C-alpha cells in the first residue's frame, strides 16, 4: 500500500493541528492518498499533487464548519468532484465519533453532497 510523502504527512499534521486539531489527520491522509493516487493511475509519486489535494480537503472541511451558506457551497463543490466525494465517503469510518464538531460537519457535508 502506498503512503503519503513525508512532506504531505507533515503538512497535513501541521495545518490540521493548528486549525482544527489532530483528530481528523487519519481521515485527511486517507482521502488525500485516494485522490492524489487513484487506483490504476501512474505509479510515479507526485508530491505537489498530494499537497494540493491536502489543501483542498482541508479547505472543504473548514468550509463545512463556516456556517450554513458556506457548508452548502462546500457540499456543491464536493458533489462536483466525484473522485473527491467518493474518497470522503469511503473513509467515513476514520472520522472520530462522539460529538466531534468537525467530524459531524464532514459527515453532514458528505450526506448533502450525495443528495445534491
Query: Model confidence over 30-50: pLDDT tens digits?
Result: 999 999 988 756 666 778 999
pLDDT at position 40 is 59
pLDDT at position 116 is 78
Distance CA 8, CA 3 (A): 10
How buried is 83 (Cβ within 10 angstroms: 0-12 exposed, 13-18 middle, 19+ buried)? exposed
The residues of the chain scoring below 70 in pLDDT are: 1, 40-44
Q: What is the DSSP string of 6-19?
A: HHHHHHHHHHHHHH
**Which one, of 95, 83, 88, 87, lies nearest residue 26 by Cα?**
95
pLDDT at position 26 is 96
pLDDT at position 58 is 97
- Maximum CA extent, the chain: 39
Amino acid at each position: 500500500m502506498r503512503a503519503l510523502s513525508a512532506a504531505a504527512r507533515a503538512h497535513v499534521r501541521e495545518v490540521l493541528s493548528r486549525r482544527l486539531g489532530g483528530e481528523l489527520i487519519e481521515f485527511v491522509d486517507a482521502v488525500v492518498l485516494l485522490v492524489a493516487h487513484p487506483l490504476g493511475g501512474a505509479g510515479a509519486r507526485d508530491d505537489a499533487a498530494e499537497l494540493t489535494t491536502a489543501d483542498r480537503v482541508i479547505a472543504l472541511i473548514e468550509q463545512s464548519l463556516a456556517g450554513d451558506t458556506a457548508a452548502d457551497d462546500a457540499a456543491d463543490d464536493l458533489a462536483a468532484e466525484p473522485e473527491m466525494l467518493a474518497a470522503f465517503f469511503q473513509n467515513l469510518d476514520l472520522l472520530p465519533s462522539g460529538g466531534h464538531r468537525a467530524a459531524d460537519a464532514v459527515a453532514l457535508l458528505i450526506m448533502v453532497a450525495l443528495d445534491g
